[in-house]
Amino acid sequence: MIALEYFLLAGLLVCAAAAPLFRRLLVTVIVYTAFSLLLAILWALLQSPDLAITEAAVGAGVSGILYFLTLRNIHAMKGTHDV
Amino acid sequence: MSEGTWRERLRVWVDGEREPRDRTLFVMESPQRTSSLPTPEEHEVRERHRLRKFLNWYPAAAVIICAALVAVLLAAVVRMPAFGEADNPINNEVSRHYLARTEEETGASNAVTGMILSYRGFDTLGESCVLFLAVASVTLLLRREDGEPEDAAQRRLRREDALQREHPDVILQQSARLLIPFILLFALYVLLNGESSPGGGFSGGTVLGGGLILYAAAFGFERLGRFFSRRAYSAVRTFGLLLYTFLYGCYIVTGANGLTSEALTRMGGLSLPIDLAVGLVVACTVYGFYALFARGEI
């Protein structure tokens, strides 16, 4: 359990450091979502499952979707059909 | 117009057309144009100079601020007492009181839920109001009026919708068909179980909103609109907040402990209905943000 916690913490650091370094905003949002997912597992390990559920739903789900929608609306997403 | 009824005068005053006391019209003064405006070339040179100066300083400032923040946070973490020690400052009589008497005082068998919904219910009520107002202001900003002519972005959105209806995303639809029942069921479980186990309004509400978003993304807003139209959305959102306000008002008026009669205690006190109310508000907030961002209306 402790080893898993250290692994997750290292993953958090890597995600946090990597997120601003990518040039494509889409990749940044995906890395941010991964950060939230790792944090959700960490909350569950720290015995606060209610926070874990909320973090997974809000951090990884809803805010990621809102970022994707914003990127689509400002035409910053490659691969979607822009007319 | 100034000689009309008080109702007319009130309307005029609320609309900002006329000041009621001395009955003068408001006149917006247009600012005086200064004649010493720089020419476009001068302006461009000046702006480029400012930009270059800014870009020189920007990385250095960013690194310094980040390093300072990391140092402060690390110092705080290093000085923090170890996790779970017996003589930590959080282990005082306050938490012992809450742990021992939550059930008899609030009727919630889960201390965290009792804390969020009863002891600090006012705080949660404020948060619910913030969520409600957030959706209201995003609606004000992003909703397009009915009579407003469409601009290019909306035409593009409509074309994309039509395209999506003709060629639905098979992977998304099939996985949504598989997942949505479980998501909604889990949301209901978390909502209804909030007073006896971890979970409750905020968690269950976000999961419920996430399920609605998945449904709207996979099958389109028209299909969702059949059972969850704009009127239903507004009704549910307002009903949630009003229900919470009413229940918490009962709580305050009866001196916070007067409602734990036998039947209410067996039902989990007021925790269950309050949980449901918070969940409705949160779910509507989450889904409303998605709908407003995606197509400008709910």
**pLDDT tens digits, one per residue of B183-242:** 999 999 988 887 777 767 888 899 999 999 999 888 888 888 888 888 888 899 999 999
pTM score, whole prediction: 0.73
Count CB neighbours of B275 within 10 A: 28
- Chain B 68-127, CB below 8 Å of chain A: which residues? 112
Nearest-angstrom CA–CA distance, B98 and B106:
10
Nearest-angstrom CA–CA distance, B291 and B274:
26
Contact present, B219 and B296 (Cβ < 8 Å) = no
Q: How many helices, marked H, and strands, marked E, lie in chain A?
A: 4, 0
Put residue B38 in one of left, alpha, beta given phi > 0 → left and psi -120 to 50 → alpha: beta
Chain A residues within 8 A of B271 when measuring between CB atoms: none
Structure confidence by residue, pLDDT tens digits, B36-81: 677 888 888 988 998 898 888 888 999 999 999 999 999 998 888 8
- Report CB contact under 8 Å: A57, B163: no
Which of B206, B208, B295 has the highest number of chain A CBs within 10 A, making it the mutation to test binding with A? B206
The DSSP 8-state label assigned to residue B20 in this structure reads T
Nearest-angstrom CA–CA distance, B221 and B191:
25
**B1 falls in which pLDDT band (50, 70, 90)?**
very low
**3-class SS of residue B18:** strand
Residues whose CB is less than 8 angstroms from the CB of residue B196 and which lie 6 or more positions away in sequence, other chains included: B108, B109, B110, B113, B268
Domain ranges of chain A: 2-73
Domain ranges of chain B: 110-295
Nearest-angstrom CA–CA distance, B62 and B233:
43
